[in-house]
Amino acid sequence: MKLRPATGRRLTNLAVSVWAGASALLGIVILFWILYIVVQRGLGALHLAFFTQLPTPPGMAGGGLANAIAGTLVLTAAATLIAVPVGLLAGVYLAEFSEDSKIGDYSRFSANVLMGMPSIIVGVFAYTLVVVPLGHFSGYAGTVALAILMLPVVARITEDMLRLVPNTLRESALALGAPRWKVTLAIVFRAAKGGLITGILLAVARVSGETAPLLFTALNSPYWFHTLGEPTPNLTVTIFNYAMSPYPDWQQQAWGASLLITLGVLLVTVLARFLVRERKA
C-alpha cells in the first residue's frame, strides 16, 4: 500500500477544522447580531407609557402597547392551562402505561410529527374549527391554536422526564401498598419535578413568541382586553402589522415589542436550561 504524503492530509484537516470553527462562529455572530439590533432599536421605545397606555392612531406620537402585553399574557396563560394538564397526563400514559401498546407508539409518533407541524397550519385548523362556527375572530380560537402547539411538547418532555425516574422508586411505593395513581402523582412526579418544570417553561417560551397561529384566530385589536370572545390584542401580531406599516412611530413601537418578546422568551429559555444544569450537577 502506498502511503499518501502527510502534509496534504494535515492541510485538509486544518482547512476542515477552520471551516468548522468558522461555522460555529457564524451561528453565534448571527445570534448576537439579532440581539444587538433588537436592543439597539427597541430600547428607545420602552418608556413608561409603552407599558401603561393604549396604542395611538398613526402619526400621533406617544401611546403604548399595554393592551397587547396584557393580551399576550392572557392568551399564553389560557393555552398553558389547557395544554399542561392534558400534556402531563398524555406523558404519564406514554411513560407509565404504554408498554407494548400500539396506541402508545402511535401517540408518541404523532406527538413528534405534530411538533414539526408548521404553526400556521394549526392556525388554519383553529380558524375552521372555532372562527368559522362562531362567525368572528376571537381569543378562544387563538388559545386553541396555541394549546395545540404546546400539547405535544409537554407530552414528550413529560414522558422523557418520567422515564428518567428509577423503577426501584415506583416498586418501593407500590410495595407499601400505594395505588398506581398515587405512585405517579406523589412519588414519580415529585422525583421528576425539576425536569417537568423545565419542560413546561420551554413550551411556554416557545408558544409566547408565536405569531402565525394568531394571525387569523385571535387577530388583533387596538382596545383593552375584555374577554376572549372577541379579537384579542397581542404583541406578536402587533409587531407584524406595525412593521409592515409606513409610519415610523409604529415601526418604533414594533421594535419595542420585539425587544420585550425576545427578552421574555430568551430569559425563560435560559432559566429553564439553568434549572436542568442545576439538577444534573
Partner 1 sequence: MMLKPALKRVPENPMPQDLGVTEASSQARPAARGDKTFRWLSFSCSLMVPLVMLAIGLELLQASWPALKQFGWRFFFSTDWNPVLQHFGAATSIFGTVVSTLIAMVIAVPLSLAIALFLVELAPPRVSYIAGTLIELLAAVPSIIFGMWGLFVFAPFMSRCVQPLLGKTLGFLPLFQGPPMGIGMLTAGIILAFMVLPFISAIARDVFKLVPPVVKESAFGMGATTWEVTRKVTIPYGLVGIIGAVFLGLGRAMGETMAVTFVIGNAHRLSASLFAPGNTIASALANEFSEATEPLYISSLVALGLVLYLITYLVQVISQMLLRRMYRSWSVGL
Residue numbers 172-231 binding partner 1 by CB under 8 A? 174-175, 177, 179-182, 184, 205-206, 209-212, 215-216, 219
Backbone torsion region of residue 166, taken as left when φ is above 0, otherwise alpha when ψ lies between -120 and 50, otherwise beta: beta
Residue 176 DSSP symbol: T
Quick note: the x/- pattern for partner 1 over 83-122, rule CB under 8 A, is ---xx-xxxxxxxxxxx---xx-xx-xxxxxx-xxxxxxx
> What is the grid cell recorded at 128?
375552521
Planar angle of CA 171, 173, 178, nearest 5 degrees: 120
Nearest CB to partner 1, comparing residues 66 and 210: 210
> What is the grid cell recorded at 91?
406523558
145, 123 Cβ separation under 8 angstroms? yes
Burial of 209 (0-12, 13-18, 19+ CB in 10 A): middle
Closest CA to 137 of 218, 220, 238: 218
Q: Hey, which residues between 5 and 24 contact partner 1 (CB under 8 A)?
A: 9-10, 12-13, 16-17, 19-24
In angstroms, give the least distance from the CB of 50 to partner 1.
17
Q: Hey, which residues between 240 and 269 contact partner 1 (CB under 8 A)?
A: 240, 243, 251, 254-255, 258, 261-262, 265-266, 269
Nearest CB to partner 1, comparing residues 18 and 48: 18
Task: Tell me the site size for partner 1, rule CB under 8 A.
Answer: 103
Burial of 62 (0-12, 13-18, 19+ CB in 10 A): exposed
Closest CA to 250 of 28, 92, 45, 13: 45
Residue 187 DSSP symbol: I
Q: Hey, which residues between 45 and 74 contact partner 1 (CB under 8 A)?
A: none
Q: Hey, which residues between 125 and 144 contact partner 1 (CB under 8 A)?
A: 125, 127-129, 132, 137
Nearest CB to partner 1, comparing residues 182 and 279: 182
Selected binder of partner 1 within 170, 195, 196, 234 (CB under 8 A)? 170
In angstroms, give the least distance from the CB of 56 to partner 1.
21
Nearest CB to partner 1, comparing residues 61 and 175: 175
Binding flag, residue 1, partner 1 (CB under 8 A): no
In angstroms, give the least distance from the CB of 242 to partner 1.
10
Indicate the SS3 state at residue 46.
coil
Using the contact rule CB under 8 A, the part of the chain among 50-58, 62-70, 152-160, 192-200 near partner 1 is 152-160
